[in-house]
Amino acid sequence: MSPGNGPEPVVDPAPHPAWLPDGALAAVGRRRVALRLPDLSGPARAIPSAGPDDSVVVGTLRAEAERATTVHGGVVVDPDDSPDLLLHLSPDLSGPAEGMSGARPGSPDGGFRFVRDGGRVAVVAATPTALLHGWFHVVRLGEAAFTGPDADERHAPAFALRVLDHWDNVDVHPVMGQVERGYAGGSIFYADGRVRDDLSRVTTYARLLAATGVDRVCINNVNVHAREARLLTDDLPEVARIAAALRPYGVRTHLAVSFAAPMTLGGLPTSDPLDDDVRAWWRAAADRVWATIPDFGGFVVKADSEGQPGPFAYGRDHADGANLLAEAVAPHGGLVHWRAFVYDHRQDWRDRSTDRARAAHDHFAPLDGRFADNVVVQVKHGPIDFQTREPVSPVLAAMPRTRVAIELQVTQEYTGQQRHACYLAPWWSENLAFRPWGGTGGDGDRVDGGDDARAVRDVVAAGGIAAVSNVGDDRFWTGHPLAQANLYAFGRLAWDPTLDPAALLDEWIGLTFAGSDGAVDPRLREVLHAVLGDSWRTYESYTAPLGVGFMVRPGHHYGPDVDGYEYTPWGTYHFADRDGIGVDRTRATGTGFTGQYPAPWRDVYEDLTTCPDELLLFFHHVPYTHELRSGTTVVQHIYDTHFAGVERVREMVAAWESLAELAPGAVPDDVDARVRERLAEQLRSAVEWRDQINTYFFRKSGIPDARGRTIY
């Protein structure tokens, strides 16, 4: 790492290895590794079929073992030759792992078994993809996999469906560009208006995902424009190439489709979901897709939302729409991810009764029980739109007879656009741990509820989890190298939503910055925790106070603009005037949104004295002099957090810069240069946020800062 303003670093043209540099595989690569495989060919195959990907994933496993041992001096040996690490593909995970003693039985419900006996490890799984996940489990553990007491553990994903959605366009969109809300360059799938010839980077991406837990990718934007719609028909062979590039790492391909496709692609006069010709068109379309890509995952649909076509045009509802597609994909075992992000984006700002936060619940809760089994209703984690702070969406608790998935946003549209370091796992973790029927609330308060102690992560077990990816063709994948931590943590939480965000950060650091011997400088570890650990709360403190959102520049959503959306049709208002701020969403005097929550939250949020401070302005309109539960007033809180937030960013910058002396050489020059550049922008932007927000509220309220700091 070059301290100060040294010469420009030499940039390696190859993609950055992210969390899988060779050093991350040192512990496995130094050992004697073996694969025990049944015969996968012919009708008498010894393992249950996981789909057509079996042999290709087995090839991947072999290649992984060969590569790691070649780099680090280990060797691939015969399974009977006392390996240190045995990868065992077996239909039966319940018996003792062959060659191991003392194994306890486990239940064969997917995932893999990890057995350590006297320092030797066996991973047993029933499918090649599960075995691959087991391999990466051992990689993550590093030396610890082989040390420690004997163990026999089962590891299975909490969510059956773990999806990354790409908002990538085939054509560069005149406003949104190649990747909508993408902050990391172009698309890894498309360039020059077509699928890339060289898709090797897509396979590298699939490898990174397999090392976390994600196993499905939707490869195009949910805003399906004319060019992208054709992926479903004319371009299927090209989609098949992408699927082939993802498949070696057990990642399945999904497509976002347009509800109007029967008209725009099929020439039919209607897309009415109850029309027989429309149903036949979708069935034929699905047949062609699965004939071309036998392990295809399914369709993702954004309908009747922000201008996308949908069933409303025919007087039908979202269940009619989703079930139309579900019927078409069902014979192939396919899925329909139907998004609940539906609201009126042509609202009149003068009308205070219409509440965008209510929309998804108003549309979807009454449809509970009407969706086909292979429909997953995909719900954004908050009721508005991926803001820095929102309550958990009440839709997640309102559809007990529906497979519901939670949708997160890894791409940092509203959280600094990968120019700001903002580690989002603590925020996601809070959402996943939220107990809609009582228990621990967002700010750590305990709120007692009824008998139902389930958390959001339990509610979505069948529907799973999805997130908008933050990856592009940038050398570091994510623009800001430290934004890789978000993608990593998302994948790990998708596998196990109870994992601790700080521990995940540590895991990511251990892999990403592993030297050739697998070790990480402890001072680097410390600095990265200091920079990233609390960065989401820091970001919140200098941007969005007390649950107010959307004070961003319209359109691109970067930087402060307090009234940017205030007089627009988008339904995202703060209603600040000279006396106070916030949205009254109470049942008593406001939009009634609080009533969409089950008890106890419907009452906790309704009452000014119990509503958590951090969400106060989301639920209530209060005077600037309103005293928060913390004891300070609303306006003083705004000033204090904005001043403190900037100071925290200064500390982040200082922490990073200290590396040059503390741990010279611990970070490659090009990573260091990019992080420094981004941190400088983060500090500039945080100052801008602080000064605009503080000045705005000082001018509105006329109330000076109690500590007399500079406000303009």
| Contact status, residue 437 vs residue 449, Cβ threshold 8 Å | yes
Query: Which are the contacts of 665, defined by CB distance < 8 A and separation ≥ 6?
Result: 1
Using alpha carbons only, what angle is made at residue 277 by residues 271 and 279, rounded to the nearest 5 degrees? 70
Binding letters toward ligand GCV, positions 28-47, x by CB under 6 A? --------------------
Q: Which is nearer to ligand GCV, 177 or 595 (CB)?
A: 177
Length of the chain measured in residues: 712
| Contact status, residue 316 vs residue 302, Cβ threshold 8 Å | no
- The nearest distance, CB 272 to ligand GCV, in angstroms, is 23
For position 363 contacting ligand GCV by CB under 6 A, the verdict is no
- The nearest distance, CB 569 to ligand GCV, in angstroms, is 13
- 3-state helix vs strand vs coil in the chain, percent to 5: 40, 15, 50
- The nearest distance, CB 327 to ligand GCV, in angstroms, is 24
DSSP reduced 3-state for 58:
helix
- The nearest distance, CB 336 to ligand GCV, in angstroms, is 16
List the interface residues with ligand GCV, window 151-180 (CB under 6 A).
167, 180
- The nearest distance, CB 536 to ligand GCV, in angstroms, is 19
Figure out which of the listed residues 35, 188, 222, 671 binds ligand GCV, where binding follows CB under 6 A: 222
Figure out which of the listed residues 205, 281, 296, 341 binds ligand GCV, where binding follows CB under 6 A: 341
Does 171 participate in catalysis according to the annotation?
A: no
Please state, in angstroms and as integers, the Cα–Cα distance from residue 659 to each residue in 49, 205, 666, following that order: 50, 29, 8
Q: Which is nearer to ligand GCV, 565 or 605 (CB)?
A: 565
DSSP-H helix ranges across 418-500: 425-433, 456-459, 484-495
Tell the burial category of 638 from Cβ atoms under 10 Å away from its Cβ (0-12, 13-18, 19+): buried
Q: Which is nearer to ligand GCV, 415 or 633 (CB)?
A: 415
List the interface residues with ligand GCV, window 407-446 (CB under 6 A).
413
Please state, in angstroms and as integers, the Cα–Cα distance from residue 172 to each residue in 101, 169, 181, following that order: 58, 6, 13
DSSP reduced 3-state for 357:
helix
Amino acid (1-letter code) at residue 151: A
- The nearest distance, CB 380 to ligand GCV, in angstroms, is 7
Using alpha carbons only, what angle is made at residue 702 by residues 700 and 708, rounded to the nearest 5 degrees? 120
Binding letters toward ligand GCV, positions 302-331, x by CB under 6 A? x-----------------------------
d(C-alpha 574, C-alpha 586), whole Å:
15
Checking phi first, is residue 702 left (phi over 0); if not, alpha (psi -120 to 50) or beta?
left
Catalytic residue from among 8, 192, 277, 306: 306
Q: Distance from CA of residue 543 to its chain's centroid?
A: 22
Please state, in angstroms and as integers, the Cα–Cα distance from residue 532 to each residue in 410, 528, 675, following that order: 15, 6, 12
State in Å, rounded, how far the first CA of the chain is from the last one: 39
List the interface residues with ligand GCV, window 235-274 (CB under 6 A).
none
Q: Which is nearer to ligand GCV, 307 or 315 (CB)?
A: 307
Q: Which is nearer to ligand GCV, 121 or 424 (CB)?
A: 424
| Contact status, residue 328 vs residue 293, Cβ threshold 8 Å | no
| Assigned token pair, 550 | 């959307």
- The nearest distance, CB 405 to ligand GCV, in angstroms, is 14
Please state, in angstroms and as integers, the Cα–Cα distance from residue 427 to each residue in 136, 153, 389, 499, following that order: 25, 29, 8, 13
Q: Distance from CA of residue 113 to its chain's centroid?
A: 26
Tell the burial category of 92 from Cβ atoms under 10 Å away from its Cβ (0-12, 13-18, 19+): exposed
d(C-alpha 116, C-alpha 123), whole Å:
9
Q: Which is nearer to ligand GCV, 222 or 245 (CB)?
A: 222
Does 306 participate in catalysis according to the annotation?
A: yes
- The nearest distance, CB 167 to ligand GCV, in angstroms, is 5
Number of residues that bind ligand GCV (CB under 6 A): 9
Does 228 participate in catalysis according to the annotation?
A: no
- The nearest distance, CB 181 to ligand GCV, in angstroms, is 5
Q: Which is nearer to ligand GCV, 356 or 648 (CB)?
A: 356
* Nearest in space to 94 (alpha carbons), one of 110, 105, 104, 103: 105
Figure out which of the listed residues 295, 385, 670, 672 binds ligand GCV, where binding follows CB under 6 A: 385
| Assigned token pair, 527 | 């600095």
Q: Which is nearer to ligand GCV, 549 or 612 (CB)?
A: 549
- Quote the DSSP letter at residue 328: H
* Nearest in space to 432 (alpha carbons), one of 454, 414, 415, 462: 454
- The nearest distance, CB 221 to ligand GCV, in angstroms, is 6
d(C-alpha 319, C-alpha 208), whole Å:
35
For position 540 contacting ligand GCV by CB under 6 A, the verdict is no
Catalytic residue from among 64, 165, 317, 385: 385
Figure out which of the listed residues 113, 120, 166, 181 binds ligand GCV, where binding follows CB under 6 A: 181
Binding letters toward ligand GCV, positions 577-616, x by CB under 6 A? ----------------------------------------
Q: Which is nearer to ligand GCV, 93 or 163 (CB)?
A: 163
Figure out which of the listed residues 127, 129, 223, 402 binds ligand GCV, where binding follows CB under 6 A: 223
Q: Which is nearer to ligand GCV, 159 or 341 (CB)?
A: 341
Catalytic residue from among 84, 228, 295, 413: 413
Positions that interact with ligand GCV (CB under 6 A): 167, 180-181, 222-223, 302, 341, 385, 413
The residues annotated as belonging to the active site are 306, 385, 413
